[in-house]
Amino acid sequence: MSNFSASRIRLSLTSYLNVAAHQTQQHQQPQCAQRDRDINLALAAMRLFLSLLSLAGVLFTPTSASSDYHEQLNLRPLHPSLLLASFNFQSNTSLASFEQQNFRYFPRSLGQILQHANTRELHLRFSLGRWDAESWGARPWGGAREGGTGVELWAWVEAESDEEADGRWLTLTNALSGLFCASLNFIDSTRTIRPVMSFEPVGDHSNTTISDLHLLHGTLPREVVCTENLTPFLKLLPCKGKAGISSLLDGHKLFDASWQSMSIDVQPICEAGSNNCQLQITQTIDMVLDIQRSKRPRDNPIPRPVAESELKCDTSKEYHSHDTCFPLDAAAQEEEWSLAHIFGHSLKGTCPLADESTDPVCIDVPHARHVYASEGAHEHKDESGYKRCFSLAPDKEFEMILPEQEISEKAPLEQPLLYAERSFIGYGQESGGVQAILTNPSLTDSVDFVYMETLPWFMKLYLHTLKAKINGLDEDIIKEMYYRPALDRKRGTQLEVRAIIPANSTVVLTYDFEKAILRYTEYPPDANRGFDVAPAVITIGNIAIRTTSLLLPLPTPDFSMPYNVIILTSTVMALSFGFIFNLLVRRFVALDEADQWDVRAVRLKALAALKRLASRFGKGVKVEKKE
Amino acid sequence: MSVSVEGSKASPAVAENSAIDVRKEDAPANAVSIATQKKEPPPEKPESIKLRSLVIFSFWAIILVLGVPIWWRTTTIYRANLPLDQMKDWAEGRACRPVFPLRISIEADSLQDHESQHLLRTTQHALDDLNDFSAHHLRLQISPPANGSVAVDGQSTGGEGEEVALIIRLLPGTETKADLQAYAPILDVYYTPNQVPSSSSSTSSLATYIANTLRDMFAEEQAMIAYLLSTSSSPPERIPKALAPEVAESLAKWTTRSIKYSRTYHLTFSLFTPTATPSSWEIEKALEDHMKPLLESFSPISNFTIDTQVQLYAQPGVSGAILKKQDLSAFINAAEWPLSPSIGGHPTINFLIYIGDMSVEGGGTSWLIPQWGGVIIQPDITDLRPAILTFSNQLMSLLGAPSSHSLPLRLNTLIRVRSAGLLLKASGTMGSLARLTVALPSISIPQSVADGVATTLFHLGKACDGLGGIEGLENARIAEEAAEKAFFEKSMVGQVYFPDEHKVAVYLPLLGPVGVPLVMGVVKEVKAWRKRRRGL
C-alpha cells in the first residue's frame, strides 16, 4: 500500500480501460467521454473494494446438495511468476431421472456410456507435465483430481463375475475412447489392473451393490493430451464454454501450461440412511501458467531482451555504470497481470444455470495485494487474509487486474505430505533398476502410505531385489505387500506396498528388473524413443500423489530386416543345397576331359541367329514396301 | 560368309588354347591339335549312371511327395463350402416366390347362409378380376359366428389358424357406405335391403362395391410390394405391370426416407436453445401422454428406448429468420451438437425442438430428415402436445408405415412390407456373397461365414413360408442380420490385400537357386539318356 503511486494506477488501469471501452463501444458515444466516465467508475469500484477489505469472504464447499450445478475458478499465484488456475464444475442429477435417461445437466453421451457399461463410479484423468512440489507446495485438491502423465482411468463396474467385469470394462474404454478422442481403447488386459489397497470408492454405494463392484484401473502413459481432448470435455458442460468461467478455457492457453490436468469424476451421492440418491459429476481443469509467457503477444511470441532503459539495477554496487548492471532482487516485486493477459480474453458473464450462492471466481492473494475487478462484481474477503472471491454481474464481461506491486507478504504455501520422485538406475540393454525416493517433510508426523506400481509385462521385476532404505539404513518398514506377477503378453506386473515413513526422513525403494525382447510386430512406431512406464501412485488416505512417468529403452531391432533375412537365409540354403546336389549328381573327370564351355562359340551362334532373324525381317519389310 | 565364320571361330580357339597351355611351352601348332583332338573321359559304368539317376529321382521324389504337400497345406487358404447354387437361387428369386395371401373375413350375421356364400363367391370373383398382381392376393372367407366376439380385439384367427387381415361386417343400413374402424381392423359395410344378391344373378352391386373398396384400401400396400419386387433382382415374369411414374417416384422417396428395420430403436428427444433459457422442459409427461400409446401399438414390430436431453447455447448451422429449403440439411450443427447415436447397436432416431423464431420458406416450422429424425422450430415450450404429435407422424413415416387408413391396418401393412423388404435384402446379400466368393479366389472363407449362410438360408425359408405375419417378419429379420454379418466378416476383408508380388518376393530367393540345379539335373540326365539310346 505504501508504494502505491498515482502514476502506477493509471499505467495498470489503461489495459483494463481498453477492455471496458471496447465493451461499451456499441453505444457509439465519443470515446474520450466514455473513457473518463469509466475511470471514475473504476476508481469508485476500487474504493468500494478497499472498504470491503475487512469483510469475510464466502468459503466454497464442494458438496452442497441443494444446487444442481455450480462452477468456480480458483486462482493461486505460485513462485516465481506462475499462476495456478483451478476450474471446478459440478452438477448433481437425481439417480431416478438418470436411469430414465432424462438428461438435463448430466451429459447424455457420457450417461449412456455409463449405463451401457454398468459403471457405478468413474474417474478419468488427462494430465501433462510435472508438478514441482518443492516450489509449488501441495497439489490442488490434495492430488485427488489428478492423474499420472497421459491418461488414467479407474472405475467401479458392477458385474457378477470377473469375466463379465472385463467385458464391461472393454465396452467402457472403447466408448470413452470415442467420446474423448483419446486412445483409451488401447487400455487392454496388459494395462489393466485391479488395485487391492490403493483406491477406495468415493461415492456412496449400497451394501448390496458394493459386493458386485469391481475396481479396474488402466493407464496410458504415452498418450499426449491435446486440444481434441478438451473440446469434448467442454461439450459435457451445461454452458459449453460459451458463458461462465468455462469461457476462459482455450486450447492454446491450456496446452501451453507448465502442468495441466483435466479430470472427470462420476459418483453416486446418497443422503445418509435414505434411498434419496443423486449422481454427481465433477469436472475439473487445473493448470499452471507462466505469467510472463502468457503475456507475450500471440502474434509475436519470441522472447526479446529487456530494453536497457527498463532494466532494474542495483545502483548501490560500486561497479554500477551505464554498461554494467546488477539486477535488483525481484522477489518482493509482484508482476502485473489480468485475466485477459493470462487466458486471452476476459470472462463472459456467468453461466445462468450455476448456483448463485457460490462465487464463480476466487483468488488466493494476501489482502494487501491490489485486485481491481470490473464493474458489477462484488468482492468478498476471507477471514484467513489470503483469499477473496468475486460474485459477478450476470450478463457483463468480467475482468480482473492485479497491478505491479512491491509486496513482501505472500500467501503461505501448503506443505505436501510427501515428496516423491522415481527414476531408473542401472545400465545396459539387458537389466536395470528403479529407485523411488519418498521424503516426509513433516517434523512431527509419520506417514502411512501405499505405493502402487503398474509395470508393463516386458519389464520383468525381481521381487527379491525390492529393498527399502530409510535415511540410508536398511530397515524393515514394509508392512504389507500385494504382488501379482506379469504374464507375457497377457497382463502387467502389479505391485502394491504399504509402508510407513517416520517424521523427517527419506525412504528409498529400489528394485531390479530385466528387459524382455519383444517380437518384431510388437514394437510401436518410433520404437527407439523408448517405452513409457506408468507413474507410481502413492496413496495416503484419500490423497494421491503420482510420480512422473519413466521412459524405458528396450533393445530395438533394425526394422528393415525381415526381407534381408529372407534373402540371406535363402541364399545360404540355396548355396548349400546346390553344393551338395552337385556333389552327388556330377561326374568328376580330368580337366582336359571335360566339355569346354566355349563362350565365343555361343556368342557367334547367337549372332548368326540374330542375323538370320534380321534378314528375314528385312525381307518382310521389303515385301511390304513393294505392296 | 561361312568361311569368315570358320576363320573367326578358329583363331580365338588358338589364342585361348595357347593361353592355357603356356606353361607347357609347346608350339602353337601343337595347341591346335590338342584342341581338335579332345580327350574323351572313360565311359561311365552303368552302376554310376543308375546311381545318379536314383539321386535325382530321390530328390524330386522328396520334393513332390513331401515338399509340395507341406507347402500346399501350409499356404492354402481355408475356404468353407458355401451352398453357392442355393444362394444364387435365393438372389434370383427362384427359391422363394413371395406371396402375401390376405385373409379377409366377412361377418354377415344378418344374411342367410346361402346368401352370404353367394355374396362371397361373387365378391371374390370381382376381386380376382380387378387384381393383376399375383403376389398380393386377397382371399375372402365367411367367419364362423362364434368368432365374432373375438374379432373385436383385432387379432382374431381364421379357420386355419392364419391371421385375418381385415374383418368386413355387413350391416343393413339405409345407404351403401363403408366405414373403417379407427382402432381395430374392421370395416363396417352398410347395405340397403335391395342390394342383397339373389342366388340367380352372377354379379351384384354390393359385391362390386366391396371389391372396389378393398382394392382401394390395399392399393398402396400392393404398390409398395410391387416396387420392392421391381427394385430387387426377381425374375421378370413376377414383377407386375410397370408402376405409374408418379407412384414410383413417391415410393422411391418412401424407401429413401424410411430407416432400416430393427427390433429396437432408440428415440432421442432433444431441446436445443441458442441462449441459456429454457433449461428444462416437461418432456416426460408429454411423452407419457402423447407418444407412449403409439409406441405400445408398435410393440409387435419394434421396441423403443427413449432418452431426452437439454442443450443450451446451441447455434444452428444456418442463420436467418426464414430458412431456405436447401439450408435445411445444414441446420443441424453436426460438429457442435451432441447428437451422437445412442450406444447399443440399434439405430437412433433423433427428434429435436429448437427454440427460435425462424420458419421455413413457404411456411411451416418442422421438417423430416430422411433416416435420421425430425426437427421442429418453435418459439417456446409452453405446450409440447403439437410438437409430440408432429414427432409421432414423423416417426410413422420414418419407420416406413403407409400414409393412409387406420393405425392397425397401417401396422399390419408395415409388417408385410418390412418382411418383404428384409427377405429381398437378405436374398440379395446372399447373391452378392456368392458372387464375391467366386470372383475372389484368394480370400479365405471362415467357418463362421458358412454358419451365417446356413442360418440365413434356414430363416429365409421359414420367412418365405410365413410371409405376412409377425413370425415371418422375425425370421426375415434374423436372416437379414445373419446375412449382413456373414458378408461383412472381418477376416475375409483382410485377406483380399495379400498381393501376389509379395509371394514372388518371398519365394523367389529360395526357389530360384534351388530349382535351377534340380531342373538342369533332370534335363541333362534326360539328354544323356536319349543320347545313350541313340548310340545303342
Q: At A260, is the pLDDT very low, low, confident or very high (cuts 50, 70, 90)? A: very high
User: Of the ranges A138-152, A433-447, B200-214, which one carries the lowest mean pLDDT score?
Assistant: B200-214
Chain B contact for A354 (CB, 8 A cutoff): no
Which residues from chain B sit within 8 angstroms of residue A102, using beta carbons? 283-284, 307-308
A337-376 as b/e: b if 16+ CB within 10 A: bbbbbbbeebbbbbbbbbbeebbbbbbbbbbebbbbbbbb
Contact flag B268-A587 (C-beta cutoff 8 Å): no
Decide: residue B340, CB within 10 A, 0-12 exposed, 13-18 middle, 19+ buried: middle
In a domain, A346, yes or no: no
Q: Which structural domain range is residue B227 located in?
A: 100-231
- Chain A interface disruption, residue of B311, B343, B529, most A CBs within 10 A: B343
Q: Is the pLDDT of residue A624 over 70?
A: no
In a domain, A342, yes or no: no
Decide: residue B294, CB within 10 A, 0-12 exposed, 13-18 middle, 19+ buried: middle
Which residues from chain A sit within 8 angstroms of residue B509, using beta carbons? 566-567, 570-571, 574
Chain B contact for A473 (CB, 8 A cutoff): no
Q: Are residues B286 and B225 in the same domain?
A: no
Q: Are residues A426 and A522 in the same domain?
A: yes
> What does the DSSP 8-state code read for residue A56?
P
* pLDDT cut 90: percent of chain A above it: 42
Nearest to B168 by CA among B144, B142, B129: B142
Contact flag B13-A109 (C-beta cutoff 8 Å): no
Query: How far is Cα A211 from Cα A165, in angstroms, rounded to an integer?
Result: 13
Question: Which residue on chain A is closest to B2 by alpha carbon?
Answer: A608
- Please give the full DSSP string across A554-603, using - where no structure is assigned: -----TTHHHHHHHHHHHHHHHHHHHHHHHHHPPP--GGGSPP--HHHHH
Query: How far is Cα A581 from Cα A574, in angstroms, rounded to an integer?
Result: 10
The interface predicted TM-score of the complex, written ipTM, equals 0.75
Q: Is the pLDDT of residue A87 over 90?
A: yes
Q: Are residues B200 and B295 in the same domain?
A: no
Q: Nearest CA to CA, how far is B434 from chain A (Å)?
A: 34
In a domain, A411, yes or no: no
**Residue B343 is nearest to which of A116, A235, A578, comparing CB atoms?**
A116
Which residues from chain B sit within 8 angstroms of residue A593, using beta carbons? 38-41
Contact flag B276-A352 (C-beta cutoff 8 Å): yes
> What does the DSSP 8-state code read for residue A65?
S
Contact flag B307-A102 (C-beta cutoff 8 Å): yes
Q: Nearest CA to CA, how far is B224 from chain A (Å)?
A: 36
Question: Which residue on chain B is closest to A352 by alpha carbon?
Answer: B276
Chain B contact for A352 (CB, 8 A cutoff): yes
At residue B263's C-alpha, the angle toward residues B262 and B264, to 5°, is: 90
User: Of the ranges A51-55, A220-224, A263-267, B364-368, which one carries the lowest mean pLDDT score?
Assistant: A51-55
In a domain, B253, yes or no: no
> What's the confidence (pLDDT) of residue A533?
94
Q: Is the pLDDT of residue A65 over 70?
A: no
> What's the confidence (pLDDT) of residue B133?
73
> What's the confidence (pLDDT) of residue A619?
65
Return residues 146-175 of A near B (CB < 8 Å): 175
Q: Are residues A216 and A285 in the same domain?
A: yes
In a domain, A457, yes or no: yes
> What's the confidence (pLDDT) of residue A159?
93
- CATH code where residue B189 lies: 3.30.379
Do you know the residue count of chain A?
A: 627
Encoded amino acid at A348, one letter: K
Average pLDDT over residues A571-580: 88
**Left if phi > 0, otherwise alpha if psi is -120 to 50, otherwise beta: which for A273?**
left
Query: How far is Cα A156 from Cα A144, in angstroms, rounded to an integer?
Result: 17
What are the cell numbers at B169?
361386417
Question: Higher confidence at residue B215 or residue A20?
Answer: B215
Query: How far is Cα A470 from Cα A501, in angstroms, rounded to an integer?
Result: 8
Question: Which residue on chain B is closest to A105 by alpha carbon?
Answer: B310
Q: Nearest CA to CA, how far is B223 from chain A (Å)?
A: 40
Hey, which residues does A119 pair with through a beta bridge?
Answer: A157
Chain B contact for A600 (CB, 8 A cutoff): yes
In a domain, A450, yes or no: yes
Nearest to A128 by CA among A143, A114, A149: A149
Query: How far is Cα A301 from Cα A173, in angstroms, rounded to an integer?
Result: 39
Helices A108-116, A162-180: crossing angle, 10 deg rounding:
160
Chain B contact for A614 (CB, 8 A cutoff): no
Q: Give me the residue label for grid cell 530385466.
A: A514
Q: Nearest CA to CA, how far is A593 from chain B (Å)?
A: 5
Alpha-carbon A620 to chain mean position = 81
Contact A389, A379 (CB under 8 A): yes
Q: Are residues A528 and A568 in the same domain?
A: no
Q: How many domains does chain A have?
A: 3
A451-486 as b/e: b if 16+ CB within 10 A: bbbbbbbbbbbeeeebebbbeeeeeebbeeeeeeeb
Chain B contact for A579 (CB, 8 A cutoff): no
Q: Nearest CA to CA, how far is B40 from chain A (Å)?
A: 5
In a domain, A273, yes or no: yes
- Please give the full DSSP string across A261-292, using - where no structure is assigned: EEEEEEEEEE-TTSS-EEEEEEEEEEEEEEHH
Cα atoms in the Cβ-side hemisphere of radius 13 Å centred on A380: 15
Q: What is the β-pairing status of strands B136-142 and B100-107?
A: parallel
- CATH code where residue A487 lies: 2.60.40.740
Contact flag A100-B284 (C-beta cutoff 8 Å): yes
Contact flag A351-B40 (C-beta cutoff 8 Å): no
**Mean pLDDT over the full length of chain A:** 83
Which residues from chain A sit within 8 angstroms of residue B9, using beta carbons? 600-601, 604
Q: What is the β-pairing status of strands A361-363 and A405-406?
A: unpaired
Q: Is the pLDDT of residue A151 over 70?
A: yes
B20-46 as b/e: b if 16+ CB within 10 A: ebeeeeeeeeebeeebeeeeeeeeeee
Q: What is the β-pairing status of strands A277-290 and A259-270?
A: antiparallel
Q: How many domains does chain B have?
A: 3
Q: Are residues A153 and A253 in the same domain?
A: yes
Q: What is the pLDDT of residues A187-216, one digit of tens each?
A: 999 999 999 999 988 888 888 888 899 999
Contact flag B279-A238 (C-beta cutoff 8 Å): yes
Q: Give me the residue label for grid cell 405375419.
A: B469
Contact flag B510-A598 (C-beta cutoff 8 Å): no
> What's the confidence (pLDDT) of residue A118?
93
Q: Is the pLDDT of residue A455 over 60?
A: yes
What are the cell numbers at A118?
454398468
Hey, which residues does A454 pair with through a beta bridge?
Answer: A494
> What does the DSSP 8-state code read for residue B163?
B
Interface size, chain A vs chain B, as Cβ–Cβ contacts under 8 Å: 115
Q: Are residues B278 and B365 in the same domain?
A: yes
Question: Higher confidence at residue B200 or residue A318?
Answer: A318
In whole angstroms, how large is the CA radius of gyration of chain B?
Answer: 40
Domain boundary among A505, A524, A552: A552
In a domain, A198, yes or no: yes
Q: Are residues A466 and A577 in the same domain?
A: no
Contact B197, B187 (CB under 8 A): no
Nearest to B387 by CA among B259, B305, B271: B271
Contact flag B40-A593 (C-beta cutoff 8 Å): yes
Which residues from chain B sit within 8 angstroms of residue A592, using beta carbons? 38-39
Contact flag A563-B505 (C-beta cutoff 8 Å): yes
Domain boundary among B191, B214, B231: B231
Q: Are residues A111 and A226 in the same domain?
A: yes
Q: Nearest CA to CA, how far is B272 from chain A (Å)?
A: 11
Contact flag A108-B506 (C-beta cutoff 8 Å): no
Q: At A621, is the pLDDT very low, low, confident or very high (cuts 50, 70, 90)? A: low
Q: Is the pLDDT of residue A40 over 60?
A: no
What are the cell numbers at B79?
475356404
pLDDT block averages, 10 residues each, chain B of length 536: 39 42 44 57 84 91 93 84 89 81 80 80 82 76 57 40 74 81 81 70 77 83 82 64 78 87 92 87 90 90 91 87 85 87 87 89 87 91 90 91 81 87 90 90 86 93 83 90 90 65 79 87 89 81
Q: At A495, is the pLDDT very low, low, confident or very high (cuts 50, 70, 90)? A: very high
**Residue A101 is nearest to which of B16, B44, B306, comparing CB atoms?**
B306
Q: Which structural domain range is residue A583 located in?
A: 562-589
A365: CB partners within 8 A, 6+ apart: A77, A371, A386, A388, A402, A411
Chain B contact for A65 (CB, 8 A cutoff): no
In a domain, B346, yes or no: yes
Contact B87, B431 (CB under 8 A): yes
Chain B contact for A589 (CB, 8 A cutoff): yes
**Residue A592 is nearest to which of B39, B276, B313, comparing CB atoms?**
B39
Contact flag A352-B521 (C-beta cutoff 8 Å): no
Query: How far is Cα B156 from Cα B450, in angstroms, rounded to an integer?
Result: 40
Contact flag A101-B307 (C-beta cutoff 8 Å): yes
Q: Are residues B300 and B392 in the same domain?
A: yes
The C-alpha torsion from A607 through A612 and A615 to A620, rounded to 10°, is: -130
Cα–Cα distance list, B268 to B147, B338, B343, B381 (Å): 42, 11, 12, 17
> What's the confidence (pLDDT) of residue B61?
95
Question: Higher confidence at residue A3 or residue A528?
Answer: A528
Question: Which residue on chain B is closest to A113 by alpha carbon?
Answer: B343
Q: Nearest CA to CA, how far is B303 from chain A (Å)?
A: 16
Query: How far is Cα A268 from Cα A317, in angstroms, rounded to an integer?
Result: 64
Q: Are residues B145 and B265 in the same domain?
A: no
Alpha carbon distance, N-terminus to C-terminus of chain B: 37
Question: Higher confidence at residue A369 or residue A563?
Answer: A369
A200-233 as b/e: b if 16+ CB within 10 A: eebbbbeeeeeebbbbbbbbbbbbebeeebbebb
Query: How far is Cα B106 from Cα B187, in angstroms, rounded to an integer?
Result: 9
User: Of the ranges A28-32, A443-447, B252-256, which one carries the lowest mean pLDDT score?
Assistant: A28-32
Query: What's the 3-state SS for B275-302?
Result: CCCCCCCCHHHHHHHHCHHHHHHCCCCC
Cα–Cα distance list, B14 to A602, B28, B31 (Å): 16, 7, 7
> What's the confidence (pLDDT) of residue B37?
61
Domain boundary among A494, A525, A552: A552
Question: Which residue on chain B is closest to A350 by alpha carbon?
Answer: B276
What are the cell numbers at B411?
401396422
Question: Which residue on chain A is closest to B314 by alpha carbon?
Answer: A240
In a domain, A62, yes or no: no
Q: Nearest CA to CA, how far is A251 from chain B (Å)?
A: 16
What are the cell numbers at A566?
529372407
> What's the confidence (pLDDT) of residue B242?
66
Q: Are residues A235 and A112 in the same domain?
A: yes
Contact flag A108-B280 (C-beta cutoff 8 Å): no
Residue A321 DSSP SS3:
strand
Chain B contact for A562 (CB, 8 A cutoff): no
Which residues from chain B sit within 8 angstroms of residue A240, using beta carbons? 311-313
pTM for this model (two decimals):
0.78
- Chain A interface disruption, residue of B36, B309, B337, B518, most A CBs within 10 A: B309
Q: Are residues A455 and A576 in the same domain?
A: no
A518: CB partners within 8 A, 6+ apart: A458, A554
Contact A433, A512 (CB under 8 A): yes
**Residue B338 is nearest to which of A109, A566, A570, comparing CB atoms?**
A109
Chain B contact for A209 (CB, 8 A cutoff): no
Q: Are residues A538 and A570 in the same domain?
A: no
Q: Are residues A506 and A566 in the same domain?
A: no
What are the cell numbers at B102?
390376405
Which residues from chain B sit within 8 angstroms of residue A582, using beta carbons? 517
Contact flag A593-B41 (C-beta cutoff 8 Å): yes
Q: Are residues B263 and B394 in the same domain?
A: yes
Question: Which residue on chain A is closest to B525 by alpha carbon?
Answer: A585
